[in-house]
Structure 1
């Protein structure tokens, strides 16, 4: 690996090969060809009048998966094409804008903006990371712990990663890791994977979870509580995967602090928190308390987050910049709206049920074969994420849950919970935009990021999937 000279600036990020033989353009081309084939020769099993809807679905998912345009632009193109060709009513196409997931992401963006504006995030993360500067294993562990803590405080992975990666780079500089050092990559990957992987076990902590919760509520009438979801997933998908992440980072990216750095004294603790930091900390703690007690008051996480965001936007609080709306990145909002709109469009068209009717006889699902059923559904939803990206998995798969429940003999709730186990596993960085952005911000080469993502997915699938099945069985999700 070529060494870079250490400087005060972030090193140039290696760019992947841009030829048309890259996976992204190939996915887009294949999706376009499949869409053309559906339009020209619709399969006999397609419901009448849905060929255009199927073609639009293929193109949209192809654009999301390929990354040749931004996810937000792909969503806008979906909205445009859906209305121009009248593939569904406007209330279906634009259903995402009325979903709680949309407003949870909006609130997360506002809270992230407030955390950066007040300096609270840097104070918390810097204080936590500088607690373990004398040992490389402890430093890597601290980076994962910081990511996990922030998954509870900030509802959006992207905002957390944008906040945490520069802090991890500063700690790496202080520890003496050069731009191409394995220790530097380990610290960046620790905060990036730590805050995104564990967020799948915390209901309002990332986009796929809120898409899943919105789809489950809208299509099946289930309202999942914050603590209930945490109890289902955090012991294994949260704590165990975090511990596995630390072990894999230390094994795959071994390094050590220099003797001088290993005996340095800790940094001087930051001074007294400013009034804005204290005020925002109180708002976040109140929101966390309300999320944790939703079983008592019945207020959904999205509306708790929106209330906190509205408070931060009040001019007298001074918790956000003077022009906060100009500073917000609307890309995640459009992406979520597009994913939910596509899911609602597919649900109304009957395409999902028709496709699953063809696929169901080919899947080895049967009542009583519970371990096999779990493996097929978990791995199936993980592989579906290769084509849809992670937020698209619950939007596409949720309408199929009743048919799957009939094939497996499981309660509907068990099928829906199993889908979350699958989409919590991603094989390649493009499936999880926060991972992709974090790697680029941290200067992690594309090859290193891809190999680590794939390697962690393989190890996690072998070790975590069976344990998560046993845990869900133990807590009674499967009803047997």
Structure 2
């Protein structure tokens, strides 16, 4: 039975309750969706469309089923990754170094390091100490708590270049804040606080050039393909007022209304919060050192992944003070397998050219017309959003930027102008699997998968309806897009 009165005291142990809840959610997932996906995959194998690259019908079928499993949560996300790895190798759809490329990616090691950092924050009680201080400074209103969490996440997007690193740093603190705010295990407030940290630091980061991978891919492709160098402040001016600020405001409003709740009785803390003990100070010192290294990577050149790994080693070498005595036994492998699977799937799709072939097939069918600014914006932005379903986020700029000349001819806009629109596309994901940082953050914060899917889809649709038109108008006002 659920917790009563917003407290953590339950007649059923929390772990048992969460397990039962997850089982009910898995059983409630519409089986019809996966049945349709399997039938469609079978049709592709036995009657492949003519536009598919030769010999990729089976690859497309495996990718479609994998995407269906990730999107519906029909089985656990980590299990879906294992299913994909097994099918990819049994049917030899791509070389092993492509299929398992996720394990060698820097993102994998950011998550590994981040999991250890989060483990130390929980083990030493540092997260609770930080939460106490944050709660003491926030107004006693639910909406203010959500707005404050989103704001902190957005500020961190300026400080830390990697979305994965921000997730593993902010989510454990958000969970501790939810505890201190009096939200029970299944409370709307707990879900909203954690989602505010996850989406708050991810959504706004698409308006800040070096803050996540798709932005960097877009910038690099613009320079290598078209010889166009885009500056930090220029990119910020194009996107931050709408995709950064206004969409963050929308995020707060949606969270407050989608997950209504009230602040419960906060956990009592001694007056004037106690000082950090020795282990908490050491944990905080290493964490601040990692944060400083992340924020200054352009100066020293050490990648965020290796900063995270170095911090993790410091914690591991100080077991059992900073982490449990058997840290690897306590390590949750689920987020690591999930990330490796999603990155591997993206690599296979890129290797076989399926996503690019689908987009090129669609492009001539779109009714572009020079002088029709609103229509052209809608077609580019929505086309990129649809492409992200097949390629995940970084695939949109990787495929879309090389098509800049074609899009420029079709719309009548300069290459730089038309490709600026892609930021709206790759910052809008319909389902969580398209954005690995979102999935990782949700797993770290133990967000129910169905709640995550519903919120992600709902927020994406609201962004398309409300934010896309405002983004188009802003680009018109500042002269990036002509009428």
Normalising by structure 2, what TM-score?
A: 0.75
Contact 2:151 2:200 in 1 (8 A): no
> What's the secondary structure of 2:53's corresponding residue?
coil
Deviations 1:148-203 (A, max 9, x none): 57776882536744553354144236xxxx999xxx63464134223333224448
- Give how far 1:340 is off: 1.9
Match of 2:39 among 24, 33, 36: 33
Assess, with a 3 A threshold, how the Cα gap between structure 1 residues 186 and 241 changes in structure 2: closer, same or farther: farther
Which residue of 2 is the match for residue 404 of structure 1? 403
Assess, with a 3 A threshold, how the Cα gap between structure 1 residues 276 and 337 changes in structure 2: closer, same or farther: same
- Give how far 1:55 is off: 1.4
Contact 1:287 1:305 in 2 (8 A): yes
Which residue of 1 is the match for residue 331 of structure 2? 328
Which residue of 2 is the match for residue 164 of structure 1? 174
Contact 1:374 1:469 in 2 (8 A): yes
Contact 1:365 1:407 in 2 (8 A): no
Distance 1:332 1:360 in 2: 35
Which residue of 2 is the match for residue 311 of structure 1? 314
Distance 1:149 1:348 in 2: 36
> What's the secondary structure of 2:392's corresponding residue?
helix
Distance 2:324 2:216 in 1: 31
Map 1:42-121; keep pairs closer than 5 Å: 42-121=48-127
Distance 1:420 1:369 in 2: 20
Contact 1:157 1:196 in 2 (8 A): no
Map 1:276-295; keep pairs closer than 5 Å: 276-295=279-298
Assess, with a 3 A threshold, how the Cα gap between structure 1 residues 45 and 249 changes in structure 2: closer, same or farther: closer
> What's the secondary structure of 1:30's corresponding residue?
helix
Assess, with a 3 A threshold, how the Cα gap between structure 1 residues 27 and 227 changes in structure 2: closer, same or farther: farther
Judge which range, 58-67 or 186-195, deviates more.
Answer: 186-195
Distance 1:242 1:372 in 2: 25
Distance 1:324 1:469 in 2: 49
Distance 1:465 1:65 in 2: 24
Distance 2:58 2:282 in 1: 52
Judge which range, 228-237 or 398-407, deviates more.
Answer: 228-237
Distance 1:295 1:342 in 2: 30
Match of 1:189 among 177, 182, 192: 192
Assess, with a 3 A threshold, how the Cα gap between structure 1 residues 125 and 423 changes in structure 2: closer, same or farther: farther
Q: Could you say what the CA RMSD is over the residues aligned between the two structures, in angstroms?
A: 4.6
- Are positions 1:245 and 2:251 aligned together? yes
Assess, with a 3 A threshold, how the Cα gap between structure 1 residues 188 and 372 changes in structure 2: closer, same or farther: same
- Are positions 1:127 and 2:133 aligned together? yes
- Give how far 1:118 is off: 2.0
Deviations 1:295-331 (A, max 9, x none): 3233332232223223322237943222222222222
Distance 1:227 1:307 in 2: 32
Distance 1:355 1:453 in 2: 24
Distance 1:403 1:354 in 2: 13
Deviations 1:259-298 (A, max 9, x none): xx89x99862321112222222222222222222223233
